[in-house]
């Protein structure tokens, strides 16, 4: 058992397998998981956990070089786009249409599904390097 960081063994294993530029999707509850892409389902109930909660933990163990989110979310009242920029201030931010986000998800090494109910609340991150 780990003392700190991500204690979910499946997420820890996914992070350990991730190489430079590999992508991981952290999805809301309604995101259509691409066929053939492994999914770790953390959803416990409405908004439990939220995408940003999982992302904050992921940034403790994974260097993030780039991230994508659906540009439909930018006018969101909850400030999700702002939250993403605050959590990953050094990563390149790439907003794109949700339809394109879904296509890009087919190349992800995995999806971490949350209980987040925010429409278009997904984020995809690309691994950087630790050096």
Domain boundaries, the chain: 9-127
Rounded to whole angstroms, the Cα distance separating 51 from 3 reads 23
Tell me the two tokens of residue 17.
């397998």
Q: Which residue has the higher pLDDT, 125 or 76?
A: 125
Label residue 78 by pLDDT band (50, 70, 90).
low
CATH number of 9-127: 3.40.1650.10
pLDDT the model gives residue 75? 60
User: Catalytic positions, please?
Assistant: 20
pLDDT the model gives residue 79? 79
**Predicted confidence (pLDDT) per residue in 9-59, tens digit:** 999 999 999 999 999 999 999 999 999 999 999 999 999 999 999 999 999
Q: What percentage of the chain reaches a pLDDT higher than 90?
A: 82
CA atoms lying within 13 Å on the CB side of residue 75: 1
């Amino acid at each position: 058992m780990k003392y700190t960081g991500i204690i979910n063994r499946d997420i820890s294993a996914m992070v350990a397998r991730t190489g430079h530029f590999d992508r991981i999707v952290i999805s809301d509850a309604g995101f259509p998981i691409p066929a053939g892409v492994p999914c770790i389902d953390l959803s416990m109930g409405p908004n439990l956990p939220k995408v940003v909660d999982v992302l904050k933990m992921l940034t403790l163990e994974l260097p993030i070089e780039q991230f994508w989110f659906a540009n439909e979310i930018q006018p969101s009242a909850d400030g999700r786009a702002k939250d993403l920029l605050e959590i990953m201030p050094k990563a390149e931010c790439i907003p794109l249409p949700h339809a394109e986000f879904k296509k890009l998800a087919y190349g992800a090494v995995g999806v971490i599904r949350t209980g987040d109910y925010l429409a278009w609340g997904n984020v995809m991150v690309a691994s950087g390097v630790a050096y």
